[in-house]
Amino acid sequence: MNGHRNLVGIALIAVALIGCKGVDLAALQTKATGLVEKYKPQVESGLTTVKDLLGRTNELPKDLPVVGGLVDKLTAQGGALEKVKGMLEGLPGQVASAAKEGKGQEDITKLLATAETSVGTELGNVTTALGEAANGVAAAEVEAKAAAIKAATAKLGETVGAPLAAQATKLDELITKAKALPAETAGLAPIATALDALKVEADKAKATVDGAAAKVEAAGADAKAAQAVIDQVTTEVGTATKKLETELPGLAEKLGALTPAPAADFAKALSTGFEVKGAGTGIEAQLIAFVEDATKVVDKTTWFNFDRLTFETGSTKIDVEKSKEQLANIVEILKAFPALTLKVGGYTDNDGSADANKKISQQRAEAVVAALIEAGIAKERLEAEGYGPEFPVCAANDTPECKAQNRRIAVRVTAK
Protein backbone atom coordinates (compact mmCIF):
# COMPACT_ATOMS: atom_id res chain seq x y z
CA MET A 1 0.00 0.00 0.00
CA ASN A 2 2.84 2.42 0.83
CA GLY A 3 4.44 1.65 -2.55
CA HIS A 4 1.17 2.47 -4.29
CA ARG A 5 0.87 5.80 -2.43
CA ASN A 6 4.45 6.65 -3.37
CA LEU A 7 3.69 6.08 -7.04
CA VAL A 8 0.64 8.34 -6.85
CA GLY A 9 2.67 10.96 -5.01
CA ILE A 10 5.38 10.85 -7.64
CA ALA A 11 2.76 11.35 -10.33
CA LEU A 12 1.22 14.35 -8.54
CA ILE A 13 4.60 15.98 -8.00
CA ALA A 14 5.55 15.40 -11.61
CA VAL A 15 2.31 16.92 -12.83
CA ALA A 16 2.64 19.86 -10.49
CA LEU A 17 6.10 20.63 -11.76
CA ILE A 18 5.09 20.53 -15.41
CA GLY A 19 2.86 23.10 -17.01
CA CYS A 20 3.03 22.51 -20.72
CA LYS A 21 0.59 24.03 -23.20
CA GLY A 22 -2.05 21.80 -24.78
CA VAL A 23 -1.47 18.94 -22.39
CA ASP A 24 -4.10 17.96 -19.86
CA LEU A 25 -1.65 16.75 -17.26
CA ALA A 26 -4.37 15.96 -14.76
CA ALA A 27 -6.06 13.58 -17.17
CA LEU A 28 -2.76 11.97 -18.15
CA GLN A 29 -1.81 11.63 -14.48
CA THR A 30 -5.13 9.99 -13.77
CA LYS A 31 -4.58 7.57 -16.67
CA ALA A 32 -1.04 6.69 -15.51
CA THR A 33 -2.01 6.12 -11.90
CA GLY A 34 -5.08 4.21 -13.07
CA LEU A 35 -2.82 1.77 -14.93
CA VAL A 36 -0.74 1.34 -11.80
CA GLU A 37 -3.84 0.67 -9.72
CA LYS A 38 -5.21 -1.74 -12.34
CA TYR A 39 -2.16 -3.92 -12.87
CA LYS A 40 0.00 -3.65 -9.77
CA PRO A 41 -2.22 -6.05 -7.72
CA GLN A 42 -1.88 -8.64 -10.50
CA VAL A 43 1.87 -8.20 -10.46
CA GLU A 44 2.08 -8.54 -6.68
CA SER A 45 -0.20 -11.60 -6.79
CA GLY A 46 1.99 -13.14 -9.49
CA LEU A 47 5.14 -12.54 -7.47
CA THR A 48 3.50 -14.15 -4.44
CA THR A 49 2.59 -17.15 -6.59
CA VAL A 50 6.17 -17.45 -7.86
CA LYS A 51 7.50 -17.32 -4.29
CA ASP A 52 5.02 -19.96 -3.15
CA LEU A 53 5.76 -22.29 -6.06
CA LEU A 54 9.51 -21.88 -5.63
CA GLY A 55 9.14 -22.72 -1.95
CA ARG A 56 7.23 -25.89 -2.81
CA THR A 57 9.77 -26.76 -5.50
CA ASN A 58 12.64 -26.39 -3.04
CA GLU A 59 10.94 -28.98 -0.82
CA LEU A 60 11.10 -31.56 -3.63
CA PRO A 61 13.98 -34.08 -3.83
CA LYS A 62 16.82 -32.52 -5.80
CA ASP A 63 17.30 -35.69 -7.82
CA LEU A 64 13.78 -35.45 -9.26
CA PRO A 65 14.37 -34.77 -13.00
CA VAL A 66 11.76 -31.98 -13.34
CA VAL A 67 12.99 -29.85 -10.43
CA GLY A 68 15.69 -27.98 -12.33
CA GLY A 69 13.32 -27.07 -15.17
CA LEU A 70 10.63 -25.87 -12.76
CA VAL A 71 13.07 -23.64 -10.88
CA ASP A 72 14.29 -22.10 -14.16
CA LYS A 73 10.74 -21.50 -15.39
CA LEU A 74 9.58 -19.92 -12.13
CA THR A 75 12.69 -17.77 -11.90
CA ALA A 76 12.09 -16.54 -15.46
CA GLN A 77 8.47 -15.62 -14.67
CA GLY A 78 9.55 -13.83 -11.52
CA GLY A 79 11.96 -11.81 -13.64
CA ALA A 80 9.21 -11.01 -16.14
CA LEU A 81 6.93 -9.78 -13.33
CA GLU A 82 9.69 -7.59 -11.87
CA LYS A 83 10.13 -6.11 -15.35
CA VAL A 84 6.41 -5.31 -15.55
CA LYS A 85 6.52 -3.87 -12.05
CA GLY A 86 9.36 -1.57 -13.05
CA MET A 87 7.47 -0.55 -16.20
CA LEU A 88 4.40 0.41 -14.14
CA GLU A 89 6.43 2.29 -11.54
CA GLY A 90 8.08 4.27 -14.36
CA LEU A 91 4.86 5.38 -16.09
CA PRO A 92 4.34 8.61 -14.11
CA GLY A 93 7.92 9.62 -14.82
CA GLN A 94 7.52 8.80 -18.52
CA VAL A 95 4.40 11.00 -18.72
CA ALA A 96 6.26 13.84 -17.03
CA SER A 97 9.29 13.45 -19.30
CA ALA A 98 7.15 13.32 -22.43
CA ALA A 99 5.25 16.47 -21.43
CA LYS A 100 8.50 18.23 -20.59
CA GLU A 101 9.86 17.29 -24.00
CA GLY A 102 6.86 19.02 -25.55
CA LYS A 103 4.94 15.98 -26.72
CA GLY A 104 1.26 16.53 -27.13
CA GLN A 105 -1.76 14.96 -25.51
CA GLU A 106 -2.25 12.45 -28.31
CA ASP A 107 1.36 11.22 -28.29
CA ILE A 108 1.39 10.74 -24.53
CA THR A 109 -1.98 9.01 -24.68
CA LYS A 110 -0.56 6.60 -27.29
CA LEU A 111 2.47 6.04 -25.04
CA LEU A 112 0.18 5.00 -22.20
CA ALA A 113 -1.92 2.81 -24.49
CA THR A 114 1.19 1.05 -25.76
CA ALA A 115 2.40 0.53 -22.18
CA GLU A 116 -0.98 -0.93 -21.18
CA THR A 117 -0.95 -3.33 -24.13
CA SER A 118 2.58 -4.43 -23.30
CA VAL A 119 1.76 -4.90 -19.62
CA GLY A 120 -1.45 -6.79 -20.39
CA THR A 121 0.27 -9.08 -22.89
CA GLU A 122 3.17 -9.81 -20.54
CA LEU A 123 0.85 -10.51 -17.62
CA GLY A 124 -1.23 -12.84 -19.79
CA ASN A 125 1.89 -14.78 -20.80
CA VAL A 126 3.08 -14.96 -17.19
CA THR A 127 -0.34 -16.12 -15.97
CA THR A 128 -0.32 -18.96 -18.52
CA ALA A 129 3.25 -19.94 -17.64
CA LEU A 130 2.52 -19.90 -13.90
CA GLY A 131 -0.52 -22.11 -14.43
CA GLU A 132 1.66 -24.62 -16.27
CA ALA A 133 4.31 -24.38 -13.56
CA ALA A 134 1.73 -24.90 -10.82
CA ASN A 135 0.53 -28.06 -12.57
CA GLY A 136 4.13 -29.19 -12.93
CA VAL A 137 4.88 -28.61 -9.23
CA ALA A 138 1.71 -30.49 -8.22
CA ALA A 139 2.62 -33.42 -10.47
CA ALA A 140 6.18 -33.44 -9.10
CA GLU A 141 4.83 -33.45 -5.54
CA VAL A 142 2.71 -36.50 -6.36
CA GLU A 143 5.75 -38.20 -7.90
CA ALA A 144 7.93 -37.30 -4.90
CA LYS A 145 5.32 -38.62 -2.49
CA ALA A 146 5.12 -41.90 -4.39
CA ALA A 147 8.91 -42.17 -4.36
CA ALA A 148 9.03 -41.43 -0.63
CA ILE A 149 6.42 -44.10 0.06
CA LYS A 150 8.35 -46.58 -2.05
CA ALA A 151 11.61 -45.75 -0.25
CA ALA A 152 9.98 -45.98 3.17
CA THR A 153 8.38 -49.34 2.46
CA ALA A 154 11.57 -50.64 0.85
CA LYS A 155 13.47 -49.67 3.98
CA LEU A 156 10.90 -51.52 6.06
CA GLY A 157 11.41 -54.56 3.84
CA GLU A 158 15.14 -54.46 4.49
CA THR A 159 15.10 -53.63 8.20
CA VAL A 160 12.20 -55.77 9.44
CA GLY A 161 10.81 -57.74 6.50
CA ALA A 162 13.97 -59.67 5.65
CA PRO A 163 14.76 -60.81 9.23
CA LEU A 164 11.13 -61.89 9.64
CA ALA A 165 11.22 -63.84 6.36
CA ALA A 166 14.39 -65.65 7.46
CA GLN A 167 12.78 -66.75 10.71
CA ALA A 168 9.54 -67.67 8.94
CA THR A 169 11.50 -69.99 6.63
CA LYS A 170 13.03 -71.74 9.65
CA LEU A 171 9.57 -72.03 11.18
CA ASP A 172 8.13 -73.59 8.02
CA GLU A 173 10.96 -76.13 7.96
CA LEU A 174 10.21 -77.17 11.53
CA ILE A 175 6.48 -77.41 10.84
CA THR A 176 7.22 -79.67 7.85
CA LYS A 177 9.42 -81.90 10.02
CA ALA A 178 6.76 -82.07 12.71
CA LYS A 179 4.08 -83.07 10.22
CA ALA A 180 6.33 -85.82 8.86
CA LEU A 181 6.28 -87.57 12.25
CA PRO A 182 3.48 -89.91 13.26
CA ALA A 183 0.78 -88.03 15.14
CA GLU A 184 1.10 -90.41 18.09
CA THR A 185 4.79 -89.65 18.62
CA ALA A 186 5.29 -88.95 22.31
CA GLY A 187 5.97 -85.30 23.04
CA LEU A 188 5.00 -84.13 19.53
CA ALA A 189 1.64 -82.51 20.38
CA PRO A 190 2.92 -79.59 22.52
CA ILE A 191 5.70 -78.87 20.03
CA ALA A 192 3.23 -78.84 17.12
CA THR A 193 0.90 -76.56 19.07
CA ALA A 194 3.73 -74.13 19.81
CA LEU A 195 4.81 -74.13 16.16
CA ASP A 196 1.25 -73.48 14.98
CA ALA A 197 0.93 -70.55 17.40
CA LEU A 198 4.18 -69.07 16.14
CA LYS A 199 2.96 -69.54 12.57
CA VAL A 200 -0.12 -67.42 13.33
CA GLU A 201 2.07 -64.65 14.75
CA ALA A 202 4.52 -64.84 11.87
CA ASP A 203 1.72 -64.61 9.30
CA LYS A 204 0.23 -61.65 11.15
CA ALA A 205 3.61 -59.89 11.19
CA LYS A 206 4.07 -60.57 7.47
CA ALA A 207 0.63 -59.07 6.79
CA THR A 208 1.72 -56.00 8.75
CA VAL A 209 4.79 -55.59 6.54
CA ASP A 210 2.77 -56.17 3.37
CA GLY A 211 0.17 -53.58 4.43
CA ALA A 212 2.70 -50.93 5.44
CA ALA A 213 2.76 -49.24 2.02
CA ALA A 214 -0.99 -48.63 2.02
CA LYS A 215 -0.87 -47.21 5.55
CA VAL A 216 2.03 -44.88 4.71
CA GLU A 217 0.21 -43.73 1.59
CA ALA A 218 -2.95 -43.08 3.60
CA ALA A 219 -0.92 -40.77 5.82
CA GLY A 220 -0.57 -38.49 2.80
CA ALA A 221 1.58 -35.41 3.23
CA ASP A 222 1.52 -35.77 7.02
CA ALA A 223 5.14 -36.73 7.67
CA LYS A 224 4.52 -37.36 11.37
CA ALA A 225 1.66 -39.73 10.61
CA ALA A 226 3.76 -41.59 8.04
CA GLN A 227 6.64 -41.93 10.51
CA ALA A 228 4.22 -43.15 13.17
CA VAL A 229 3.11 -45.92 10.80
CA ILE A 230 6.73 -46.90 10.12
CA ASP A 231 7.54 -46.92 13.84
CA GLN A 232 4.48 -49.05 14.60
CA VAL A 233 5.31 -51.58 11.88
CA THR A 234 8.93 -51.72 13.01
CA THR A 235 7.93 -52.37 16.62
CA GLU A 236 5.25 -54.99 15.88
CA VAL A 237 7.29 -56.94 13.35
CA GLY A 238 10.49 -56.64 15.38
CA THR A 239 8.73 -58.09 18.41
CA ALA A 240 7.39 -61.04 16.40
CA THR A 241 10.81 -61.68 14.84
CA LYS A 242 12.53 -61.58 18.22
CA LYS A 243 10.06 -64.12 19.57
CA LEU A 244 10.79 -66.46 16.66
CA GLU A 245 14.53 -66.04 17.16
CA THR A 246 14.15 -66.87 20.85
CA GLU A 247 11.78 -69.85 20.66
CA LEU A 248 12.64 -71.67 17.42
CA PRO A 249 16.05 -73.04 18.49
CA GLY A 250 14.54 -74.73 21.55
CA LEU A 251 11.65 -76.18 19.56
CA ALA A 252 14.06 -77.42 16.89
CA GLU A 253 16.11 -79.18 19.55
CA LYS A 254 13.03 -80.81 21.09
CA LEU A 255 11.74 -81.86 17.69
CA GLY A 256 15.08 -83.33 16.76
CA ALA A 257 15.03 -85.47 19.88
CA LEU A 258 11.69 -86.90 18.76
CA THR A 259 12.80 -87.89 15.28
CA PRO A 260 12.70 -91.69 15.09
CA ALA A 261 15.51 -93.65 13.49
CA PRO A 262 14.67 -94.79 9.93
CA ALA A 263 13.57 -98.36 9.46
CA ALA A 264 16.55 -100.47 8.38
CA ASP A 265 14.68 -102.46 5.75
CA PHE A 266 17.70 -102.50 3.42
CA ALA A 267 20.99 -104.21 4.22
CA LYS A 268 23.86 -104.92 1.86
CA ALA A 269 27.29 -106.38 2.62
CA LEU A 270 29.89 -104.64 0.45
CA SER A 271 33.08 -106.14 -0.90
CA THR A 272 35.00 -104.30 1.81
CA GLY A 273 33.09 -106.22 4.47
CA PHE A 274 31.08 -103.16 5.51
CA GLU A 275 27.33 -103.71 5.80
CA VAL A 276 25.26 -100.80 4.50
CA LYS A 277 21.88 -100.36 6.17
CA GLY A 278 19.13 -97.97 5.20
CA ALA A 279 15.61 -97.58 3.89
CA GLY A 280 14.48 -99.79 1.05
CA THR A 281 13.78 -96.72 -1.04
CA GLY A 282 16.75 -94.74 0.32
CA ILE A 283 19.77 -93.44 -1.53
CA GLU A 284 21.98 -96.36 -0.51
CA ALA A 285 19.69 -99.03 -2.01
CA GLN A 286 19.13 -97.02 -5.21
CA LEU A 287 22.78 -96.12 -5.72
CA ILE A 288 24.11 -99.66 -5.20
CA ALA A 289 21.45 -101.11 -7.49
CA PHE A 290 22.37 -98.64 -10.23
CA VAL A 291 26.11 -99.27 -9.93
CA GLU A 292 25.77 -103.05 -9.93
CA ASP A 293 23.31 -103.21 -12.83
CA ALA A 294 25.38 -103.35 -16.02
CA THR A 295 22.34 -102.39 -18.08
CA LYS A 296 22.05 -99.05 -16.31
CA VAL A 297 23.84 -96.43 -18.39
CA VAL A 298 25.40 -93.33 -16.89
CA ASP A 299 23.41 -90.28 -17.95
CA LYS A 300 22.71 -86.72 -16.81
CA THR A 301 19.15 -87.21 -15.65
CA THR A 302 19.34 -90.01 -13.08
CA TRP A 303 19.67 -88.59 -9.59
CA PHE A 304 19.37 -90.17 -6.15
CA ASN A 305 18.17 -88.02 -3.23
CA PHE A 306 19.69 -88.17 0.24
CA ASP A 307 16.93 -89.12 2.67
CA ARG A 308 18.78 -88.76 5.97
CA LEU A 309 21.00 -85.75 5.30
CA THR A 310 20.05 -82.49 6.99
CA PHE A 311 21.55 -79.06 7.57
CA GLU A 312 21.35 -76.83 10.57
CA THR A 313 18.25 -74.66 10.22
CA GLY A 314 18.80 -71.80 7.79
CA SER A 315 22.47 -72.76 7.37
CA THR A 316 24.86 -74.42 4.92
CA LYS A 317 26.44 -76.37 7.79
CA ILE A 318 25.62 -80.09 7.85
CA ASP A 319 23.85 -81.37 10.95
CA VAL A 320 26.52 -84.00 11.58
CA GLU A 321 24.65 -85.86 14.32
CA LYS A 322 21.64 -86.51 12.11
CA SER A 323 23.55 -87.02 8.86
CA LYS A 324 26.67 -88.97 9.85
CA GLU A 325 25.17 -92.45 9.28
CA GLN A 326 24.10 -91.76 5.71
CA LEU A 327 27.32 -89.92 4.86
CA ALA A 328 29.31 -92.88 6.21
CA ASN A 329 27.27 -95.22 4.00
CA ILE A 330 28.07 -93.15 0.89
CA VAL A 331 31.75 -93.16 1.82
CA GLU A 332 31.74 -96.96 2.14
CA ILE A 333 29.93 -97.38 -1.18
CA LEU A 334 32.57 -95.21 -2.89
CA LYS A 335 35.32 -97.31 -1.27
CA ALA A 336 33.68 -100.55 -2.40
CA PHE A 337 33.37 -99.30 -6.00
CA PRO A 338 36.71 -97.60 -6.83
CA ALA A 339 35.63 -96.61 -10.36
CA LEU A 340 32.55 -94.83 -9.06
CA THR A 341 32.51 -91.01 -9.32
CA LEU A 342 29.68 -88.77 -8.23
CA LYS A 343 28.29 -85.33 -8.81
CA VAL A 344 26.52 -83.79 -5.82
CA GLY A 345 23.65 -81.44 -6.66
CA GLY A 346 22.06 -78.89 -4.31
CA TYR A 347 18.49 -77.64 -4.72
CA THR A 348 16.20 -75.12 -3.01
CA ASP A 349 12.56 -74.05 -3.16
CA ASN A 350 11.56 -70.83 -4.94
CA ASP A 351 11.41 -68.56 -1.88
CA GLY A 352 13.76 -65.59 -2.14
CA SER A 353 15.89 -64.53 -5.09
CA ALA A 354 17.13 -67.09 -7.62
CA ASP A 355 20.73 -65.87 -7.22
CA ALA A 356 20.67 -66.25 -3.43
CA ASN A 357 19.10 -69.70 -3.70
CA LYS A 358 21.68 -70.83 -6.23
CA LYS A 359 24.45 -69.64 -3.94
CA ILE A 360 23.15 -71.50 -0.88
CA SER A 361 22.50 -74.67 -2.91
CA GLN A 362 26.07 -74.52 -4.23
CA GLN A 363 27.44 -74.09 -0.71
CA ARG A 364 25.41 -77.02 0.61
CA ALA A 365 26.52 -79.28 -2.25
CA GLU A 366 30.13 -78.27 -1.58
CA ALA A 367 29.67 -78.99 2.13
CA VAL A 368 28.64 -82.58 1.31
CA VAL A 369 31.63 -83.02 -1.01
CA ALA A 370 33.93 -81.62 1.69
CA ALA A 371 32.53 -84.11 4.21
CA LEU A 372 33.16 -87.04 1.84
CA ILE A 373 36.70 -85.86 1.11
CA GLU A 374 37.38 -85.47 4.81
CA ALA A 375 36.25 -89.10 5.23
CA GLY A 376 38.94 -90.28 2.81
CA ILE A 377 37.44 -90.01 -0.69
CA ALA A 378 39.72 -88.49 -3.35
CA LYS A 379 38.46 -85.09 -4.46
CA GLU A 380 38.93 -86.09 -8.12
CA ARG A 381 36.01 -88.48 -7.73
CA LEU A 382 33.59 -85.78 -6.64
CA GLU A 383 32.13 -82.53 -7.93
CA ALA A 384 29.43 -80.19 -6.68
CA GLU A 385 26.91 -77.90 -8.31
CA GLY A 386 24.07 -75.82 -6.94
CA TYR A 387 20.94 -75.53 -9.05
CA GLY A 388 18.89 -73.30 -6.76
CA PRO A 389 15.15 -73.55 -7.50
CA GLU A 390 15.67 -75.33 -10.84
CA PHE A 391 14.33 -78.87 -11.40
CA PRO A 392 11.75 -78.89 -8.57
CA VAL A 393 10.40 -82.25 -7.42
CA CYS A 394 7.13 -80.55 -6.49
CA ALA A 395 6.55 -78.05 -9.29
CA ALA A 396 3.74 -76.17 -7.53
CA ASN A 397 6.07 -74.82 -4.82
CA ASP A 398 2.96 -73.61 -3.00
CA THR A 399 2.92 -75.31 0.43
CA PRO A 400 5.52 -75.89 3.15
CA GLU A 401 5.40 -79.63 2.41
CA CYS A 402 5.88 -79.07 -1.32
CA LYS A 403 8.75 -76.65 -0.75
CA ALA A 404 10.41 -79.09 1.64
CA GLN A 405 10.55 -81.70 -1.14
CA ASN A 406 12.38 -79.24 -3.36
CA ARG A 407 15.02 -78.41 -0.71
CA ARG A 408 17.29 -81.43 -1.18
CA ILE A 409 20.73 -82.82 -1.90
CA ALA A 410 21.09 -85.50 -4.57
CA VAL A 411 23.90 -87.42 -6.32
CA ARG A 412 24.37 -88.46 -9.93
CA VAL A 413 26.76 -91.15 -11.10
CA THR A 414 29.27 -89.70 -13.55
CA ALA A 415 31.30 -92.93 -13.97
CA LYS A 416 31.08 -96.49 -12.63
- HEC profile of 9-59: HHHHHHHHHCCCCCCCHHHHHHHHHHHHHHHHHHHHHHHHHHHHHHHHHHC
Distance between CA 194 and CA 187 in Å, rounded? 12
Residue at 81: amino acid letter: L
The whole-model pTM stands at: 0.43
Instruction: Give the Cα-Cα-Cα angle 14, 16, 17 (nearest 5 degrees).
Output: 65
- What letter represents residue 131's amino acid? G
- Digitized pLDDT (tens) for each residue of the chain, 416 residues in all: 444 444 444 444 444 444 444 678 888 989 999 999 999 999 999 999 999 999 999 999 888 889 999 999 999 999 999 999 999 999 999 998 998 998 999 999 999 999 999 999 999 999 999 999 999 999 998 888 778 777 777 788 888 989 999 999 999 999 988 887 777 777 888 999 999 999 999 999 999 988 888 888 787 667 778 888 888 999 999 999 999 999 999 999 888 887 554 555 899 999 999 999 998 889 999 999 999 999 999 999 999 999 999 998 778 999 998 899 999 999 999 999 999 999 999 999 998 899 999 999 999 999 999 999 999 999 999 999 999 999 998 888 888 888 888 999 999 999 99
Helix (H), strand (E), coil (C) string for 118-186: HHHHHHHHHHHHHHHHHHHHHHHHHHHHHHHHHHHHHHHHHHHHHHHHHHHHHHHHHHHHHHHCCCCCC
Superfamily of the domain at 266-415: OmpA-like domain (3.30.1330.60)
Contacts of 84 (CB under 8 A, 6+ apart): 39, 43, 119, 122, 123, 126
Residues forming CATH 3.30.1330.60 domain(s) in the chain: 266-415
| Cross-strand bridge partners of residue 269 | 275
* Cα gap 229→122, rounded to integer Å: 48
Provide the pairing of β-strand 304-305 with 408-415. antiparallel
